[in-house]
Amino acid sequence: MKPRLLSLLLTVSLTLALAYYIYIPLPDAIQQPWKLMMLNAYLRTAFHVFTFGFEGILKEFLSSESSAGAVPGVKVSDITFAGIPVRVYEPPAGGEGHLRRGLMYFHGGGWAFGTTSEQMSIFKLHLNPLCVCRYRLYPDAHFPVPYLDCLAAAKHFLSPEVLAKYSIDPDRVAVAGDSAGGNLAAAVAQEISVDDSMSVKFSVQALIYPVLQALDFNTPSYLQNQYIPLLYRTNMIQFWLQYLNIDLSLMPEFFVNNHSALQHSSLTPELRSRLDWNVLLTQKYKKNYNPVIVEKGSEGFLKKVPSLLDVRAVPLLAGPEVLAKCPRAYILTCEHDVLRDDGLMYARRLQDAGVAVTSDHYEDGFHGCFSLTSWPLEFDVGKRALRSYLNWLQNNL
């Protein structure tokens, strides 16, 4: 075979292989599909790098952030709150006696990676102090360590001494987070809301496509969006198992809900009702899906892994008496996200408990879009979601 023909065949083969690797069918509602496909291919490759043992390199890259100089006029301090590493963004003071709003933010990343989503708030949060908690991550830490890190940092941030130091109005302090960070924000907000020893509590909570339960991986959104980037059903289950320190070989049990079978007496009817999507979701989101309820699953599973029923890990299981004390909420959900129903169910349960909730749903949204607002990873839905989030904080905090 002539070298030129061989080169042509090799080029065509590589092009087809690359196209096959990149292309995935996407819903018509998602704009800029090829950009999302390219980003997804990149992240899938990165995830494989993590899986094959190069997590140190990958985590350092995914956790990298802009330097302090990238935030003009804002003082950036890497310090500790109650021994927990935090980064504080402190804008210029507004004059003596002028109190500002404050925000405690927990980043997403499946409890395994750091992300740069905090930057979205830094630049546009109307010059108010922002504290980002550097909670410990997998594989160095499992539940409850990340939660306890966030809780300790939040309590320190809410102390009168720290609020006074940063000129923060104690009646205007928010907690927020995206994805796994939304899980931590919801759990921390619940705990502080019922803690009578806390003189200052969060005024509002803002949850960006939060992950809130690990007992049903067959909700309509998990099934509808199981192959939609940027968060696949498989990846989310793996993140949960890593967070709760469960053997990854048990993943097939979670796909079919064997871990939450009816035989488990510890998962009482009352607890099941707290995540019963057949009741908590409207028909618009239930569509034609049916609940996957297993009569007899893995023997003694929940006794071996009690964290699956721990509200500190699974905020959706909190009782109505706890939810009733929670601060008013903003919950952002995306139609093309496996976590859509987690957020919608939590919004419904908070509302049923008497909490004011703003439910902000994006029909063209997908998991991760909130952080994709800058060139070259710029999506219109991400910019709209970010504006809405910031406007809500501006008007409610």
Give the active site residue among 179, 203, 221, 260.
179
DSSP notation for 149-207: HHHHHHHHHTSHHHHHHTTEEEEEEEEEEETHHHHHHHHHHHHHHT-TT-SS--SEEEE
Phi–psi pair at 159, nearest 5 degrees: -65, 145
149 is catalytic: no
Give the active site residue among 178, 337, 342, 360.
337
Q: Which residue has the tokens 């995830």?
A: 47
247 is catalytic: no
Give the active site residue among 156, 264, 336, 367.
367
Among residues 208, 215, 207, 184, the alpha carbon closest in space to that of 291 is found at: 215
Among residues 337, 321, 36, the alpha carbon closest in space to that of 190 is found at: 321
117 is catalytic: no
Q: Which residue has the tokens 């291919």?
A: 41
User: Token pair of 193, please?
Assistant: 């809301």
Task: Give the C-alpha distances (Å, rounded to integers) separating 55 from 104, 118, 170, 303, 350.
Answer: 27, 22, 40, 31, 37
Return the amino acid letter for 348: R
Residues designated as active site: 179, 337, 367
